[in-house]
Chain A
Amino acid sequence: MPIQAQYLGMPLSLDDLEVENLTYFKHCAAHDFHLQACANCSLLRYPPTTACPWCTSREANWVPVEGQGTVHSYTEVHHPIQPAFKGHTPYLVLLVDLDRQLGKPTEHEALRVVGNLTTPDGKLAPPEMVKRVGIGTRVRMVFTDVAPGLALPQWIIDETAKQPENPWRYPQE
């Protein structure tokens, strides 16, 4: 089924040929993060693709993956480009190294999953929370419900994890 939805007033859509993306977001809508695992070499990949980037196999199985990891890099947006994000600045775009498959198949590879910093209910984080996060912060996945069959994976500070004393942040606040 195709999906047409609104998120922060921004139209999001997936047509019915988007088999890989529809499956990915269907799992997200159930708040159960899944990625494709190659049927041949077993490696996971992100985002959804149509073949395995390591062995070219077109066959894959969707497997549950725990949404936890470490911030690898980020940007903090102060001047929004899209109308949907006006009124939500500053917001963080996080690039998160999942714990699963970190450093595989080679040292500098990881499942680096994009998301905003949000509150546990999936709303964009307030400014005082934004200031706590930098490279090295431990984060956990939550979901922003958008429509039936569509939720966006997002990141919250993992309050139960051991956090670095000073996550690396851009020096100018």
Chain B
Amino acid sequence: MPMPADTDVSSPKHLRDKYAIVGVGETTYTRGSGMTTRALGTWAVRNAMLDAGLKAADVDGMLSYQSGDSTFAPFIAGDLGIRLNFYMDVFGGGSSTEALIGIAMGVIEAGMCKTVAIFRAMNGFSQVRIGGTGARSAVPVTSDMLHSRAYGWQSAGQMFSPTFMRHMYDYGTKPEQVAAVRAAHSNHASNNPKAFYQKRVTVEDVLASRVICKPLHLLDCCVETDNATAIIVARADRARDLKHTPALIRGVAGRVCKPRIDMHYQAGPISTVAGRYAREILWPNSGVGPEDVDVTGSYDAFTFTTMLQLEDYGFCKKGEGGHYVSDGTINLGGRRPNNTSGGHLCEGYTHGMNMVIENVRQLRHDVDDRCPIGSDGKRKHTYDHKEGGCRQVKGCEVTANLGWAMPGTGSAMVMRRG
């Protein structure tokens, strides 16, 4: 597709295509990693460096995000012999990935460093349970939490559900439409040897699974796993000397919020999420629109979060998200597949970064499925998306990642094949 050649440096959009993701890496996705988040983070960052073809001396910036559940960047850098010119460890979970990519571009642009590794390392099952059970569920309730946790309104699923319910009320969205997200992502995961859940499930399986908190069944909720993921951001002109086709960053929007973010339900409509604001930054900055996107990575902490974001970023009309996610569009082989790795529902949970990694590989035309590797070392993709088969999207040129922290906060990024 044609890309606008907008390189006017008087425009705030002049960073389009100037930066790229040049390396990606991850650990295994398991329950019971048997190692610290320091060991996991080191493993993932090293894999991203090997993927890019970068040595320790080539990396001089580091960013991470966490919620008191991980290891800070200086330990990972120290373990790998990386001398840092810049680092920062940011508080946050979902929606951090795209926001931190924007920060990485900014600090390189400011001349503070040249190459930034971004990682997320977590034992989301065996240490700090992401679903909120275990030790996290029994902490004393203090201060402003008295207005939520004292009412048994604490976990992500509990906190987001009034948004999900109101969407069903406002627009007639049906449980079976939303459940189609899990079915699609499980089909994708069946073609991903790394995925924690590789078994395909049906809409009926989702609706028959037990209710956690309405409208969420067990299979509407993502998986909790132990893992680390990492990506490396550098200038695109450097990327051309590295191992892979770069994933050029067209535009980012970071932690864009609805009004009254202290308690976003005070401002409605509550069935609208932060993407409605983020899209006004994302698309103009990127110089593309939803119609130009080949693959999406819409955050699937829950089936509903994928749907709400696709809708509010404009991939369909407001209120038609239920139809969009259940008519085959988001499936491999459909017009615009979503979360081709299986995402958080099936591959593993790393607060958004694994969906960025997947889209980088899609843009390289080199996802790690079960297709045979040829004598040139490259995978020979069949584009047959049957169970256990290929998950490469043919001719993937433009991707969009839609990160989610909660209904009121989101981040997003558009990349294109370099």
Query: Do these two chains interact?
Result: yes
- Where the two chains meet, the residues of A that have a C-beta atom closer than 8 Å to any C-beta of B are 7, 10-15, 18, 21, 25, 45-47, 49, 53, 72-85, 88, 91, 93, 95, 106, 108-112, 114-116, 135, 152, 168, 170-172
Q: Confirm or deny: B372 has a beta carbon within 8 angstroms of a beta carbon on chain A.
A: no
Q: How far is the CB of A91 from chain B (nearest CB, A)?
A: 6
Complex formed: what's the CA distance from A84 to B145 in Å? Answer: 15
Q: Which residues of A contact B262 (CB under 8 A)?
A: 47, 49, 53
A11 and B140 contact, Cβ closer than 8 Å, known pairs A72-B270, A79-B213, A93-B158: yes
Q: Confirm or deny: B379 has a beta carbon within 8 angstroms of a beta carbon on chain A.
A: no
Q: How far is the CB of B243 from chain A (nearest CB, A)?
A: 44
Query: Could you say which of B137, B140, B148 contacts A13, with CB atoms under 8 Å apart?
Result: B140
Q: Which residues of A contact B269 (CB under 8 A)?
A: 108
- Assess the A116–B266 pair: CB atoms within 8 A: no
- Assess the B151–A114 pair: CB atoms within 8 A: yes
Q: Confirm or deny: B268 has a beta carbon within 8 angstroms of a beta carbon on chain A.
A: yes
Complex formed: what's the CA distance from A116 to B168 in Å? Answer: 21
11 additional contacts (CB under 8 A) given A112-B266, A135-B165, A172-B207: A72-B162, A72-B166, A73-B270, A75-B214, A76-B211, A78-B210, A78-B211, A78-B213, A81-B133, A95-B265, A109-B267
- Assess the A116–B152 pair: CB atoms within 8 A: yes
Complex formed: what's the CA distance from A7 to B163 in Å? Answer: 27
Q: Which 8 A-B pairs have the closest CB atoms?
A: A75-B161, A108-B268, A73-B162, A11-B140, A85-B152, A73-B166, A76-B214, A77-B213
Give me 17 A-to-B residue pairs in the complex whose CB atoms sit less than 8 angstroms apart, sorted by A's number.
Answer: A7-B150, A10-B150, A13-B142, A21-B146, A46-B266, A47-B144, A47-B263, A73-B163, A75-B162, A80-B152, A81-B132, A81-B152, A83-B138, A108-B268, A110-B268, A112-B266, A171-B174
- Assess the B143–A21 pair: CB atoms within 8 A: yes
Q: How far is the CB of B150 from chain A (nearest CB, A)?
A: 6
- Assess the A14–B175 pair: CB atoms within 8 A: no
Q: Report the nearest A residue to B162, measured CB to CB.
A: A73
Complex formed: what's the CA distance from A47 to B148 in Å? Answer: 10
Complex formed: what's the CA distance from A93 to B150 in Å? Answer: 11
Q: Which residues of B contact A81 (CB under 8 A)?
A: 131-133, 137, 152, 154-155, 158
Q: Mark B97-119, 1 if CB is under 8 A from A, else 0.
A: 00000000000000000000000
A109 and B268 contact, Cβ closer than 8 Å, known pairs A13-B142, A72-B166: yes
Q: How far is the CB of B220 from chain A (nearest CB, A)?
A: 12
Q: Which residues of B contact A85 (CB under 8 A)?
A: 152
- Assess the B147–A47 pair: CB atoms within 8 A: yes
Q: How far is the CB of B67 from chain A (nearest CB, A)?
A: 16
Q: How far is the CB of A86 from chain B (nearest CB, A)?
A: 10
Complex formed: what's the CA distance from A80 to B142 in Å? Answer: 19
